[in-house]
Structure 1
Amino acid sequence: MKELIITSTAFRGTSESGEPKRRGNRTTRVPAILEASIRVFATEGSAGFTQRRVASDAGIRLSTLQHYFSTRDELLRSTIEEMGKRYVGRYRALVRDKLRSPEARLDVIVDETFAALTRPGTSLSAFALHCWSLAEHEPFVNELAININGEFLELLAGLVAKINPALPSAECTLRSALILSNMEGLTVFIRRAGENAPDLDALRAATKVVWKALSNAPQ
């Protein structure tokens, strides 16, 4: 029998070079899984959204994915929550940007919306359409969609209040609902207009005019 040599690196989990061995953990695994999950849901919709497909796209074993998300619904819930968190967080930062005037913040929100809907390779519009469709049949998806909408309404109402301080709270909420409904309409229209779509730069400029008019109009 050859001499067996056990080094201290075997116990420390390091390589002979002294570098720690890379092991997946929740901190790195979960974001990677959710990134793949967002792509799968956006491209395949609910019908093609399976744990096996997400695991394949993430480059991990199915059993590894199921260690973090034991069911498809658990994975789907986390995926929608993550996508909502990303965009709510982005818009919250824009709404609270004190380096710009309230009206300038609204303009930037329009720019961000059009960029998110038209940027090559973007998954927002497809993801949103699949989510809204599924919300018609899945109560937990409907609840998530309502919660995300509520956060956007609150953010936009707060911005309208800064643009037009004379408006009562209920009126600010109403106008934020009009802005949000237009934003969601753009999500569908830009995705489906095809040859009927106007020049997108002109549409973006017109959207700024409409949103500012809604915000500035007296009660």
Structure 2
Amino acid sequence: MSATTGRRVGRPRAVQRPDSGLAARDELLCAAAELFTLHGYAATTTRAVADRVGLRQATMYHYFSGKEDLLAELLESTVTPSLDLARRLLEDTSRSAEDRLRELCRSDVKLLCGGPYNLGALYLLPEVRAERFAVFHRNRAELKAAYGELLAGTEDCADLDGDALALRTDLVFGLIEGVILIHRSAPGRDVTVFAAATADAALRIAGTR
């Protein structure tokens, strides 16, 4: 989640809480992340999100129109940084495709499993299939395509036909997103070690090890 500076004025808090150093909008996103992942999306109300940071519910609507807006932004925060990195890696022809693929895998796992809340678990919500989350799905599809393009540039995948490359891409991308479930069952695992091991496994699937 991107931090903004300063607080919006003229929106008093219902309850005074210690200053987190975050703008109200970012506090609301953090509260939503905590409540959605710990108590479930369906069970969390907008009032609960506002109460978590000491804001009135009406104040929350100054920043977000409802739970779907909060969820959409949280989902996009789990894919946009990886997509930005993937675009840069695709342009960086000075490095081997294998090295770039490894970096993307490692960074993506860190993003999905980093932070205090398992935001990747939000992918599993049935609500995410709604049209409201089309931007997230488009970005995710572009990210998957970038994985495929990097795979196609590796020595062992360069001669694969379209169907074979698509299968290899599905397997690698599925492994990366599969860390969501692994992380949920073992949240205490060192994320850096986990990311490196997952990247190594992804390259084995790709046939580059």
TM-score normalised by structure 1 residue count? 0.63
Partner of 1:154: 145
Which residue pairs with 1:60 in the alignment? Answer: 55
CA RMSD of the aligned region, Å? 3.7
Distance 1:90 1:166, change over 3 A: same
Match of 2:78, SS state, is helix
* Number of aligned residues: 185
In the other structure, the counterpart of 1:183 is 176
* Matched residue type, 1:100: R
Asked if 2 retains the 8 angstrom alpha-carbon contact of 1:152 and 1:180, the reply is no
CA distance in 1, matches of 2:130, 2:109: 29
Alignment TM-score, normalising by the size of structure 2: 0.65
Aligned to 1:128: 120
Q: What amino acid does structure 2 have at the position aligned with 1:159?
A: L
1:140 correspondence with 2:140: no
State the alpha-carbon separation in 2 of the partners of residues 90 and 54 from structure 1: 31
**Helix, strand or coil at the partner of 1:131:** helix
Tell me the distance in 2 between the aligned counterparts of 1:192 and 1:147.
Answer: 28
Does the Cα contact within 8 Å between 1:38 and 1:83 map onto a contact in 2?
no
Please say which of residues 170-179 and 37-46 is displaced more in the overlay: 37-46
- If asked which structure has higher relative contact order (CA below 8 Å, sep 6+), I would say 2
Alignment of 1:24 with 2:8, yes or no, is: yes
Q: Rg: which structure is higher?
A: 1
SS in 2 for 1:77: helix
Distance 1:151 1:100 in 2: 21
Query: Match for 1:50 among 26, 32, 45?
Result: 45
Shift in Å, 1:71? 2.8
Distance across 2 between alignment mates of 1:40 and 1:84 = 20
* Greater share of residues in helix: 1
**Alpha-carbon distance, 1:176 to partner:** 1.2
Match of residue 171 from structure 1: 164
